[in-house]
Structure 1
Amino acid sequence: MAAEAGEIALSTQDLREITGFAAACAEAVVGTFEADRPDDPRPRDALGAAWEFARGGERGKGLRDTAWAALKAAKAVETAAAREAAWAAMSAAGAAYLHPLAKATQVKHILGAGAHAARAAELVAGDDRTVGAAHIGQVALRATPAVVDVLNRFPAAPDGGGRVGELIRMLDAALRH
């Protein structure tokens, strides 16, 4: 895809790489949601749709619908850790919709699933931030050179966003190092 002024060139393969990375991040914690709501398949469905796209499937309405469904699932749980796990799954399906805009906010599409997964892990551990930081280290190891290449086309992650925003910035710094 050709880039216009203020846009970043992104190919379908770039989007597949980002989505596969995000799905791997979310997959690590989806069980946290399922422990809270074993009868609710929406986050797992979002992961399945993300993996399908990452492996060559279409980026269509079904993928977008599973992301929205995972968001609704996040709103239906009582525990913060389960909510973060569902948000990670929603972020994985949403990663396919990374916009080619040269804006720092787009970094959330690339790293959001990893940050929400790290937040879920630290909440499971009693809000232990060392667990979240360690999880970010593991997430950084999952990033392929293609993911890092796409990330480096964008400005650094923006300020704000609470603890998840901090985790996004930690992951952003680790991958750009």
Structure 2
Amino acid sequence: MAETGEVLLNTDDLRAVTGFAAGCAGTVLGLYASAHPADPRPRDAIDAAWAFARGGRRGKALRDTAWAALRAAGETDDEAAEHAARAAMAAASAAYLHPLADAHQVKHVLGAPAHAARAAELAAGGDEDVAVEHLARARERCPAEVVAVLVRFPAAPAGGGRVGKLLRDLDEVLRRVG
């Protein structure tokens, strides 16, 4: 951390975090697509996140897809689909991780896998073991570059219900291996 309370981040760091988030969100996109086959907003957010992760611009279009996925999440009555859309929103918004030494920034790093795990858990009738397995796969996929970014921030904040708990669980595990 810099002495100013800022975290040093560069574009490569943001691309690594965003690619990881997009990969995690993509694992549950089918839950949203099954419930809302004509609504492309979560898919568009994940596609935009991948485009940035692979070298594209971090501009208004990326931010707009994140907001659209969030609206999609708010418009569904299917809770698993809602969290799948929130995972997509988190993937697109990961590109906007702020260089602030603030625990809430961990949500930009790990929000997508936490919401994806919750979506999978809900789709399995609330089976918490499914979420644990989903987080284990996210941990295995998490590149060292993302862990290196994560450990620059304070640990994940308290609160946030079940998704917050999943986020903290993944945060804790990744910090141990980092």
Deviation of 1:4 (Å): 6.3
| Secondary structure of the corresponding residue to residue 24 of structure 2 | helix
In the alignment, the residues of structure 2 paired with residue 58 and residue 16 of structure 1 have an alpha-carbon distance, to the nearest angstrom, of: 10
Distance in 2 (alpha carbons) for counterparts of 1:94 and 1:4: 26
Q: What amino acid maps onto 2:135 in structure 1?
A: I
Q: Which amino acid aligns with 2:87?
A: A
**Shift, 1:142, TM fit:** 1.0
Aligned to 1:31: 30
Tell me the TM-score normalised to structure 2 length. 0.97
Task: Spell out, residue by residue over 1:87-124, the C-alpha distance to the aligned partner (whole angstroms, 9 max, x if none).
Answer: 00000000000000001010000000000000000000
State percent identity of aligned pairs.
62
Q: Does 1:148 align with 2:163?
A: no
Matching residue of 1:119:
118
Instruction: Indicate the residue corresponding to 1:102 in structure 2.
Output: 101
- In the TM superposition, what are the counterparts of 1:1-177 in structure 2 within 5 Å? 5-177=4-176
SS at match of 1:156: coil
Aligned-pair CA distance for 1:65 = 0.2
Q: Which amino acid aligns with 1:53?
A: F
Q: Which amino acid aligns with 2:73?
A: A
RMSD of aligned Cα (Å): 1.1
Quickly say closer, same or farther: Cα 1:150–1:75, change in 2 above 3 A. Answer: same
Unaligned runs of 5+ in 1: none
> Offset at 1:174?
1.1
Q: Which 4+ stretches in 1 moved above 4 angstroms?
A: none
* TM-score normalised by L of structure 1: 0.98
Aligned residues: 176
Mind listing any 5+ residue stretches in structure 2 that lack a counterpart?
none
